[in-house]
Amino acid sequence: MKAFVYGQEDPDKYLWHDNFDVPEPENKKQVQVKVFAAALNPVDYKLPHLPRGGRVKGQPIGYDFAGRVTRTTDGCEYKEGDMVFGKALKGCLAEYTLTDVDHIARVPPQIEPKIAAALPVASLFSLQVLRHGGCGENEGKGKSVLVIGASGGVGSSAVQIAKANGCKVYAVCDPSNIDFVKSLGADVVMDYSKEGFELPNEDCPAGTMDMVFDSVTSPVDPNYEPTARRTLKAGCKYICGHSPSKMDWARYLVWYYTGINVQRKNYSLLWTNTNPTDLNKLSQLVMDGKLKINISDLPFNEANCRKAYKLLKSRRTKGKIVIVMEYQYSSDTSFTVELYGGYQERFVGKNRKT
């Protein structure tokens, strides 16, 4: 099968394979899926730099997918032909992927596969972060939430889910995306490029937030935490998906593997817990019109995969980039992807220069 994979020697160097081995289910909890669409996430390129990141060497890139079940084992609850979405076990930028029944849910017929593929990491993480911060489905009404990085795939989902939970949302984003973030429902939108910008400020004063969701800070991005955490009310949480601190990761791993929470006071490093119940909740939010996923979809070929990750790393995309298998497109398909600042990039269906 065709696959876009992490390099074996250097996982920062991505490789294209025309004859990569098709994964086979090994037990009744695993299913093989023909991939229809796969969504990109910043964690894809950050993963090699995180603890235990070396394990991804040589495997396909990506977690989020939607597709059709093509092979199962006896006793599996899914059957061949079922349309599913969720998290791949070992990458999904490939024609086939392997997943676990505990990491997927059925795609409702009202939702396109490319929309379903964009949900698992970004929107699932947002749903669970808000819940962990005390601003979940049944406890968010009237609370104030600060979302840092509000125009990306994770942040844009967080803004909408927080609003669906009844929260007042304060958002930080690029100036060219202020209108976009406002359209998602954010109540207060701040331009991080403004001269002298810092948190707290007059728009988001110290001691006023019930939680902060920082979707930007990581080992390869700016660290907002030292100043932004001052916006929190006493006893409230600052939550990240990444950290530049190895000690934070060590504390997280102790919590993850033992259940003993040794993380810093009022701080949580969190990872997505992929499960069918929450995936179904996201589907329902989409069908209810409370969660709209802004996507740019590109055909699956080497040139587009490389270009897509270059764009993702630039942080100039708006919403989610989704790779759609070429058999979903006609050979002469062409389209444009909207980027920050009104810039557009043109893509074509086949692997040729634009």
Q: Is residue 38 domain-shared with residue 171, that is, in the same domain?
A: no
Q: Is residue 29 domain-shared with residue 104, that is, in the same domain?
A: yes
Question: Is 279 domain-assigned?
Answer: no
Question: Is 283 domain-assigned?
Answer: no
Question: Is 304 domain-assigned?
Answer: yes
Number of domain units in the chain: 2
Question: Is 67 domain-assigned?
Answer: yes
Question: Is 45 domain-assigned?
Answer: yes
Residue-level pLDDT at 52? 63
Q: Say if residues 256 and 248 touch (Cβ distance below 8 Å).
A: no
Q: Is residue 99 domain-shared with residue 150, that is, in the same domain?
A: no
Question: Is 167 domain-assigned?
Answer: yes
Residues in the chain: 354
Prediction pTM value: 0.87
3-class secondary structure for the chain? CCEEEECCCCCCCEEEECCCCCCCCCCCCEEEEEEEEEECCHHHHHHHHCCCHHHHCCCECCCEEEEEEEECCCCCCCCCCCEEEEEECCCCCECEEEEEEEEEEECCCCCCHHHHHCCHHHHHHHHHHHHHCCCCCCCCCCCEEEEECCCEHHHHHHHHHHHHCCCEEEEEECHHHHHHHHHCCCCEEEECCCCCCCCCCCCCCCCCEEEEEECCCCCCCCCCHHHHHHHEEEEEEEEECCCCCHHHHHHHHHHHHHCCCCCCCCEEECCCCCCHHHHHHHHHHHHCCCCCCCEEEEECCHHHHHHHHHHHHHCCECEEEEEECHHHCCCCCEEEEEEHHHCEEEEECCCCCC
CB atoms under 10 Å from CB of 193, counted, come to 9
Q: Is residue 197 domain-shared with residue 257, that is, in the same domain?
A: yes
Residue-level pLDDT at 28? 87
Q: Is residue 36 domain-shared with residue 60, that is, in the same domain?
A: yes
* 14-66 residue pLDDT tens: 999 999 999 999 888 999 999 999 999 988 888 877 666 677 889 999 999 99
Residue-level pLDDT at 173? 93
Residue-level pLDDT at 51? 64
Q: Say if residues 100 and 89 touch (Cβ distance below 8 Å).
A: yes
* Angle separating helix axes 120-132 and 153-164, nearest 10 degrees: 50
Which of residues 269, 302, 321 is at a domain's end? 269
Q: Is residue 101 domain-shared with residue 138, that is, in the same domain?
A: no
Instruction: Label the pairing between strands 334-338 and 344-348.
Output: antiparallel
Q: Say if residues 127 and 119 touch (Cβ distance below 8 Å).
A: no
Question: Is 282 domain-assigned?
Answer: no
Q: Which domain holds residue 262?
A: 124-269
Question: Residue ranges of the chain with pLDDT lower than 50?
Answer: 329-354
Which of residues 235, 269, 303 is at a domain's end? 269
Question: Is 284 domain-assigned?
Answer: no
Q: Is residue 134 domain-shared with residue 257, that is, in the same domain?
A: yes
Q: Is residue 249 domain-shared with residue 302, that is, in the same domain?
A: no
Q: In angstroms, what CA-CA distances link 227 with 173, 206, 242?
A: 16, 10, 17
Residue-level pLDDT at 253? 84
Residue 13 belongs to a domain with what CATH number? 3.90.180.10
Q: Is residue 62 domain-shared with residue 89, that is, in the same domain?
A: yes
Cis upstream peptide for 200 (omega within 30°) = yes
Task: State both tokens at 314.
Answer: 């630039």
Residue 169 belongs to a domain with what CATH number? 3.40.50.720
Q: Is residue 112 domain-shared with residue 8, that is, in the same domain?
A: yes
Q: Say if residues 341 and 317 touch (Cβ distance below 8 Å).
A: no
Residue-level pLDDT at 205? 98
Q: Is residue 86 domain-shared with residue 175, that is, in the same domain?
A: no
Q: Is residue 148 domain-shared with residue 264, that is, in the same domain?
A: yes
Q: Say if residues 134 and 235 touch (Cβ distance below 8 Å).
A: no
